[in-house]
Chains A and B, each alone.
Chain A
Amino acid sequence: MTNIIYDCNIYQTIIFYDCYVYYTTLSWGAQEKMTETNRKQKFKRAFLAAFPNTIPVLTGFLFLGMAYGVLMQTKGYGALWAVLMSMVAFCGSMQYVAITLLTVAFNPIQAFLLSIMVNARHLFYGLSMLERYKGLGKIRFFLIYTLCDETFSISSSVEPPENIDRRYFYLTISFLDYFYWVFGTFLGSVLGGLITFSTKGLDFVLTALFIVLFLEQMKKEENRLSGVIGIVGTAIALLLFGAENLVIPAMLIILLVLLAGRKKICT
């Protein structure tokens, strides 16, 4: 836990420093200094409001990131490569798929196409976040770059509390989730086999996160039909196409049903 607090402190310091640099370059006088303190305060409040939402991801990503780092290590790719992949590509399940691709004949076109297929679900995340990520300025690029399953599920389910800056709120969630994954990868590739207690089943924490956020969405009457369509549509795709290729068929089924039932679902 001390580690977590320490990391958050570093993160805060970095962001504060950025804001500071940004503001001193734009600074005209004393008035701007007030804005700067305001900014810090605003950021701190948004950070404290957003952080608890990411704790399940902290657990899941440190664990899965570490497992990824260990796996890369066993294939001869050290910390540098594992961390570079996590930082640049940042795509959990595809990174696991990519381990196989890194151990066979060099074929970047295949990797590119497979990456689009495995990650196709992000297309729907983007559509869902168009409104929420509107008017957020420069940070928008980073938010889109790091829009993974977990960040999407939190940022689309949790409303930023009133009088909290939404920009900083979303930025905190996205940055922390990104940071957990990269940091986990680093720990895994450096510490490797040092873990002595049994972590079997720990990855269920992310499943639990999705289930609970699903339940949260179901609290709203107007979401229920769509949620059921998601579950049933994916279950049908699983039965018809098997566990390996279910995502794209599931997306198509969901899309078709949502479009066909627009009059009924729309409230």
Chain B
Amino acid sequence: MYLSASQTIIMILAIALGTMITRFTPFLLFPEKKEPPKIILYLGKVLPPAMMGLLVVYCLKAISIAEKPHGLPELIAIAVIVLLHKWKNSVLLSICGGTIVYMVLVQAVFV
């Protein structure tokens, strides 16, 4: 440990406070008893697919196309997920299949 116990506790609280501000602010700004403005209702409807898109790209941000293996394991695993999902339409199967393919690729194929 680099910090003292009380310093560590303060750090944990500071990080938690920052996180909770980002989680609670929307709910405090638009309390449930009041109808939120139309523009907020609109955003609430269209943001989920957009944020899911953001999360997908965010997870893949570290890939380097220029260096080996050129993002190929990810590309192949995503293709497997999309095809599996089109074929069987089972959330768990698609996730499981894609992850296993990815693990095999990074452990045995693109070493």
Contact of A157 with B58 in the complex, beta carbons under 8 Å = no
Contact of A235 with B26 in the complex, beta carbons under 8 Å = no
Complex CA distance for A135 and B33, rounded to whole angstroms: 9
Asked if A30 is at the interface of the complex by the 8 Å CB criterion, the answer is: no
Binds B, one of A8-16, A39-47, A141-149, A188-196: A141-149
Residues of A within 8 A of B105 (CB): 201
Contact of B103 with A230 in the complex, beta carbons under 8 Å = no
**Residue of B whose beta carbon sits closest to that of A77:** B1
Contact of A214 with B56 in the complex, beta carbons under 8 Å = yes
Q: How far is the CB of A219 from chain B (nearest CB, A)?
A: 9
Contact of B15 with A91 in the complex, beta carbons under 8 Å = yes
The SS class assigned to the A binding surface is: helix
Complex CA distance for A157 and B74, rounded to whole angstroms: 23
Complex CA distance for A251 and B10, rounded to whole angstroms: 30
Binds B, one of A17-25, A108-116, A164-172: A108-116
**Residue of B whose beta carbon sits closest to that of A199:** B103
Contact of B57 with A77 in the complex, beta carbons under 8 Å = no
**Residue of B whose beta carbon sits closest to that of A266:** B42
Residues of A within 8 A of B9 (CB): 84
Residues of A within 8 A of B52 (CB): 153, 156-157, 210, 213-214, 217, 227, 230
For chain A, give the interface size range: 35 or more
Contact of B18 with A116 in the complex, beta carbons under 8 Å = yes
Contact of A230 with B53 in the complex, beta carbons under 8 Å = yes
Residue among B2, B13, B14 with the highest chain A CB neighbour number at 10 A = B14
Complex CA distance for A53 and B95, rounded to whole angstroms: 11
Contact of A208 with B99 in the complex, beta carbons under 8 Å = yes
Complex CA distance for A170 and B20, rounded to whole angstroms: 19
Knowing A91-B15, A210-B56, A229-B50, say if A127 contacts B95 (CB, 8 Å). no
Residues of B within 8 A of A234 (CB): 53-54, 57-58
Complex CA distance for A213 and B82, rounded to whole angstroms: 11
Complex CA distance for A229 and B52, rounded to whole angstroms: 11
Contact of B81 with A127 in the complex, beta carbons under 8 Å = no
**Residue of B whose beta carbon sits closest to that of A150:** B55
Residues of B within 8 A of A211 (CB): 56, 78, 81-82, 98
Contact of A128 with B102 in the complex, beta carbons under 8 Å = no
Chain B 45-89 per-residue mask, 1 if CB under 8 angstroms from chain A, else 0: 011111111111111111000000000011001100110010000
Residues of A within 8 A of B106 (CB): 200-201
Interface residues of A, Cβ cutoff 8 Å to B: 52-53, 55-56, 59, 75-77, 81, 84-85, 88-91, 94-95, 98, 101-104, 106, 108-109, 111-116, 119-131, 133-135, 140, 144-145, 147, 149, 152-153, 156-157, 198, 200-202, 204-218, 223-224, 226-235, 238, 243, 246-247, 250-251, 254-255, 258-259, 262, 265-266
A-B contact pairs, 30 of them (CB 8 A): A85-B12, A89-B19, A90-B19, A102-B3, A102-B11, A108-B13, A116-B18, A116-B21, A119-B19, A123-B25, A125-B26, A126-B23, A126-B25, A126-B27, A127-B26, A128-B51, A129-B44, A130-B26, A130-B27, A201-B99, A204-B77, A205-B99, A207-B60, A208-B102, A210-B59, A211-B82, A214-B52, A227-B53, A238-B57, A243-B61
A91-B19, A201-B105, A247-B58 given; 18 more Cβ-contact pairs under 8 Å: A85-B12, A112-B17, A116-B18, A119-B19, A124-B51, A128-B51, A201-B106, A204-B102, A205-B99, A208-B77, A217-B48, A227-B50, A229-B53, A230-B51, A233-B53, A250-B57, A254-B47, A262-B42
